[in-house]
Amino acid sequence: MKIGYVRVSKQEQHEMLQIDALKEAGCEKWFLDKMTGSKAERQGLDEALAYVRPGDTFVVWKLDRAGRSLTHLIELLKGLTERGIEFISLTEQIDTTTPGGKLIFHLMGALAEFERDLIRERTNAGLAAAKARGRVGGRPRKPKTNGKIALARQMFTDHSHSIPEICAALGISRATLYRYVKEAEPLT
């Protein structure tokens, strides 16, 4: 059975062009979403994926109708393949029921992996450059006041207050309190 999926990006776009193409391709049932492709939750797509069974073919008018990104599209196609469901994109003429369609699918997967590697490489290069300039990641620490540190240490060593009481009174986290106490201890 061929199951179709239709997505239109804007409310003013009409879905009939896609539905007509799916009917012509032999789809007996189709599911519809009227929203942008970048939205993570797409009810129509979720319903379509729940409906298709092994041996069925999932059909879209165009690749960008199914996936938010190349990575998402590859994950979607991989999930369909693992479930024994074929995939057809009418506009791009990708058909995983044919050897050529499977080749295109694998090439897309390789390109997606290449894209992820490039992003990782650029991210690591940026972090290394920032580190070389003396910048560190994360949220900047609040400036320490020696009075607050001394008071935290005193309250901790006196055992006059519980840890949560000390943290609440000084407006610091448990980890910060332990760091202040540790900094005061002489190294052996």
8 and 88, same domain (yes or no): yes
17 and 80, same domain (yes or no): yes
97 and 152, same domain (yes or no): no
Q: Is residue 9 among the annotated active site residues?
A: yes
Residue 173 is given by DSSP the state: -
Distant-in-sequence, close-in-space partners of 82: CB < 8 Å, separation ≥ 6: none
Neighbours of 180 (CB within 10 A): 20
Structural domain range at position 154: 146-183
Domain assignment present for 138: no
| Phi–psi pair at 120, nearest 5 degrees | -60, -45
101 and 172, same domain (yes or no): no
100 and 15, same domain (yes or no): yes
Q: Tell me whether residue 124 is exposed, middle or buried, using C-beta atoms within 10 angstroms of its C-beta: 0 to 12, 13 to 18, 19 or more.
A: exposed
Given a contact cutoff of 8 angstroms between Cβ atoms, the answer to whether 86 and 80 are in contact is yes
Q: What is the pTM of this model?
A: 0.58
pLDDT one digit per residue (tens) for the chain, 188 residues? 999 999 887 655 678 888 999 999 999 999 998 876 555 678 889 999 999 999 999 999 988 888 777 778 888 888 999 999 999 999 888 888 889 888 887 887 788 788 888 999 999 999 889 888 888 777 776 666 778 888 888 898 898 889 999 999 988 899 988 988 887 665 44
- Residue tagged active-site, from 9, 69, 160, 162: 9
Rounded CA-CA distance 100/144 in Å is 64
62 and 155, same domain (yes or no): no
